[in-house]
Amino acid sequence: MSEDKEAQENELLALASIYDEEVFRRAESAQGGEIQLCLELPPDFKLLAKGEKTAEYHVCFLPPLVLNFELPADYPSMSPPVFSLSSKWMTKAQLSSLCQRLDELWEENQGYEILFTWIQFLKEETVDFLSIHSPLELSRSSSKGAGDRRKVDPAAKAGTQNANQSEKPEEKKPELNRAISEQHLSPTSQSDPRAVVLMDPHSDPLPQLLDFDEAQRQRAFDGKVFCCGICFSDKLGSSCLCFKGCQHVYCKACMTEYFQIQIRDGNVQCLNCPEPECTSLATPSQVKQLVDDELFARYDRLLLQSTLDLMADVVYCPRQFCGTAVMVEPDTTMGICSGCQYAFCTLCKLGYHGVSHCKITADDLRNLRDEYLSATSEGKKFMEQRFGKRVVQKAVEESFSRDWLKENCKCCPRCGTNIQKVDGCNKMTCTSCKQYFCWLCLGALSKVNPYSHFNNPHSPCYNQLFHGVDVDEDEFWSDEED
């Protein structure tokens, strides 16, 4: 007995020295513990989710097998460890088959410490032993009755065997149908009480599997060293940010400064990867990690506003104190503000007037402006009482603005934003949606090579990149002046 106890202690100490606390946790009150084993999956392993829509997901990690064990007093000389095997994604039959194989390994090595042999088998050979192939198919069983719900047997999870415990046919848990070749198991192994399925039969397994895979990927990323593409410093992944679309990596210090500048300038649509010609965007969660709450609130507000501005069915409540975004139904000119309940015409922005013509059109605004500006003080008061002082003042401002915009601006071909050309060539960039376009023909330009529009002989704007641009001859030096 003293030799068995010494062998047990040595084996447990060896496991504690090999594996960290997240993998192996020793029991405090007994000679036993718990081991979590992540399987070694083949490259490009995928999950195939079947349902109303079929989709494939590439994963590198699946939730671990959990081996709970307790060492009897006469282990390893006589008795094997008492154990249970649990998983969040394997079937009862698969776990039972693994339990049976662990029993066979003990029979082959009886009298010797077996835990490390079990661990190596479960970690390295489980995929081949169960013939698990990619894609691993996930689909829920159609039977979801309230009577199907069962609790995990505490005795089995603690590692104690109960030969009399068995599942009744009517209590059998609905299993996940998987595209793997299951071995033909004996009735005894199929109902092995040491095999514990931890997945709730009434929940969708896919989100849990994908969340675990993402968490493990992040953990692996945090432990690697990367060279920042901006400051060229080597830093741990925990101090870096990886753009999900392109996998380009930059340190958080550089990206924090980059995000802060862009958000302060209102360029919330331009938080993309700094790599030239890369279009991958930072996710809102990544932005939130790197900027303070005030900047993130500004980013969130501007991102929503810029998105709504590009939607043809969204207008804003014309009330100055409100300005709430309003969804407009197709083929109607009525908008109802969800904030102040104001019903207005989406064309003239006045109170909704049904099928009647808008009272204030563009020409009417101009006429109203001219009439108001040329009226006497008594005439101005009369017009303010008739139309409302705010409406008249707004009409004057809007009329002047429309005239100025018409004379000095052109509309972006993508979002319709008024753009004024101050200087430079005829390749323009919209300040709102960042679309490149030609100032001469208002055609949208390629983001990859916007100047090809002016270099193509078949283009209407061929060789007109600087057409209409005033060139100051004094800025150019002649050979004689040199």
Amino acid at 161: Q
From 246, 358, 425, 433, active-site residue = 425
CA distances for 377 relative to 41, 373, 374, angstroms: 84, 10, 9
- Please give the order of strands across the beta sheet that includes 82-87: 24-26, 32-37, 65-70, 82-87, 195-197
Q: Which two tokens stand for residue 88?
A: 């969040």
For residues 383, 388, 389, 395, the Cα torsion angle rounded to the nearest 10 degrees is: -80
Cα 457 from Cα 463, distance rounded (Å): 8
- Contact partners, residue 316, CB within 8 Å, separation at least 6: 323, 324, 325, 326
CB 112 within 8 A of CB 76: yes
State how far the Cα of 324 lies from the Cα of 315, in Å rounded to an integer: 8
Going by C-alpha positions, the residue among 58, 34, 53, 62 that lies closest to residue 205 is 62
- Torsion angles phi and psi, residue 168, rounded to 5: -80, 145
Strand 195-197, strand 82-87: pairing = parallel
Q: Going by C-beta distance under 8 Å and a sequence separation of 6 or more, which residues neighbour residue 5? A: 73
Give exposure, 244-255, as e/b (b: 16+ Cβ within 10 Å): eeeebbbbbbbb
Q: How many CA atoms within 13 Å lie on the side-chain side of 140?
A: 15
User: If phi over 0 gives left and psi between -120 and 50 gives alpha, with beta otherwise, what is residue 127?
Assistant: alpha
Query: Which pair of tokens denotes residue 31?
Result: 């000679």
Active site includes 425?
A: yes
**Cα distances (angstroms) measured from residue 261 to each of 206, 243, 256, 366:** 38, 18, 9, 41
Q: Which residues are catalytic?
A: 425
